[in-house]
Amino acid sequence: MKSVFAFLLVVFLAFSGYHFTFRGFRPRLPLFVRQFYLTGTEFLFIGLLLGSDFLNLLDAPTRIGLAPLQAVVLGWIGFLYGFQFEFRKLRHYPLEYAAAAHFQGIFILLGVLGAAMTAMPLFPPGYAAMGLTLSFLMAAAAAPSGQTGLALMAASMKGRHPRRLALLRYISSVDGLGALAMFGLAYVFKPEGSTAIDGAFQGAMGVLGACLGILLLFLLFLSRRIPEPELILVVAGMVLLASGLSTAAGFSPLLANILVGVCLVNVSRDKERIYRILAPVEKPAYLLLLVFLGAAWRVDDPVVWGIGILYGIWRGIGKWLSLLIITRVAPGLRRYPPHLGLGLLGPSGLCMAFLLDFSKRFTGDVAMTVIGAILAALVLSDGISPWLLKMVIREKRHEA
């Protein structure tokens, strides 16, 4: 009964919260409060309130009871995320934008991965045993940048510095690609299995085979034009099936659905219709994800905050340094200010999805501590990112 009550409550919170947050409610608030509010970060705290440390409504057994819902939420978000990668549209941007985005992404991924792998042996044995997997997660969660702050800033700057904002928005829309690959490695190099390349290769092949099967199934369904109610059924059924199958294959439901989404958006003629079905549930699903993540968040452990602050600073340095280098080296980007990277500190929804997904697969104490630390870092980044972004945007520099 508790699971059912919790289910009803979180679904109600997600949908009503979505309407308060993203639709009818438009209060005049300071920028940082608006960013906090519009990124849905308050739902992390609602989840925390509902979790074991406070109201105990979403305790561990209840969360396990709601695990199917969490997997579907991840699958839905993943599928929708994949749908944003239509290669035809991504090619519209200048080459230097792509260079900046990918350089920034790779620089952070390698920087955080290296630091995490170096630091892990310094921690107790539990951390070392999961060292590689946790390092992949930390690197993957560090790279993507949030878009909400940029969108808010674009609206409040009323057309000033459009190129600077366009570059930042482009970077934030594609810097998740490398992170996805890194996150996938966390599943392929499982801590309990072999870390040898052949084990990883077998795992990757299994996952690829399952994804291809799911994609083939989807394409067969879409081989004829079907009416909307049937398309709703097919999309919902496929997300459920893909989430279940990928979890069974020891893989991430998020990544499996992203892969299927990316393939489908680039080959299906029904992509617009499918997108119209997926999109209305995107934000409620994201808020649900934050509630579940908040409920599992450990905030009473000083280690969480210690690692979190170090991780947040390292991530910030990585973002800043990567764009400093590329804007000084690449001729087409020299007109941009050197501290541009500080405008990319806002956390992306993709990072949150990584964390929830990881917490479903790797449930030990060590994993939950690291997830809590990353979450703490992302929340702190969310708090300071509006000021840094404003500073970057207002920096005087001629970009014409």
Partner 1 sequence: MKPDRRRQAATVAVHLTILVLIGAFAAYMRGWDADPVHGAAARTNFFLGALLLGAYVSGQLAGVVGLPLLSGYIIAGILAGPHVLGFLSPSMVGRLRLLDDLALSFIALSAGAHFGLSALAGRQRVIIYNVVFQVVIVFGMVAGFGTIFGDRFSFTKDLSSIQTASLAVLLGVAAVARSPSSAIAIISECRARGRFTDTVLGVTVAMDVLIIILFTLAMAVVQAVLAPGGRMEFAVFGALAGEIAVSIIAGLLSGKLIDWYIRRAGYDLPFFLLFFAFGVARASQWLGQFTESHFGGSLHLEPLIICMSAGFSVRNLGEGGAAFTAALDRVSLPVFVLFFSLAGASLDLTALVLTWPLALCLAVIRAAAIWLAAWAAGALSGDPPRYNQTAWMAYLAQAGVAIGLAQLAMREFPAIGTYLTTVVLAVICLNQIVGPIAFKAALHRVGEAGRG
| Chain residues in the site for partner 1 (CB under 8 A) | 1, 4-5, 8, 11-12, 15, 19, 23, 64, 67-68, 70-72, 75, 213, 216-217, 220-221, 223-224, 228-230, 232-234, 236-245, 247-248, 280-281, 284, 360-361, 363
Residue whose CB is less far from partner 1, 226 or 324: 226
Give me the DSSP letters along 52-82: TTTT-TB-HHHHHHTHHHHHHHHHHHHHHHH
Tell me how far, at minimum, the Cβ of 217 lies from partner 1, in Å: 5
Residue whose CB is less far from partner 1, 228 or 399: 228
Residue whose CB is less far from partner 1, 277 or 303: 277
CB atoms within 10 A of CB 191: 16
Q: Which of 248, 252, 220 is nearest to 234 (CA)?
A: 220
Tell me how far, at minimum, the Cβ of 34 lies from partner 1, in Å: 22
Residue whose CB is less far from partner 1, 199 or 206: 206
Tell me how far, at minimum, the Cβ of 8 lies from partner 1, in Å: 6
Residue whose CB is less far from partner 1, 2 or 394: 2
Q: Which of 10, 9, 5, 4 is nearest to 290 (CA)?
A: 10
Element (H, E) at 263: helix 253-267
E-strand spans in the chain? none
Cα–Cα distances (Å) from 12 to 2, 40, 68, 319, in that order, read: 15, 15, 17, 37
Tell me how far, at minimum, the Cβ of 71 lies from partner 1, in Å: 5
Tell me how far, at minimum, the Cβ of 232 lies from partner 1, in Å: 7
Tell me how far, at minimum, the Cβ of 245 lies from partner 1, in Å: 6
Residue whose CB is less far from partner 1, 238 or 333: 238
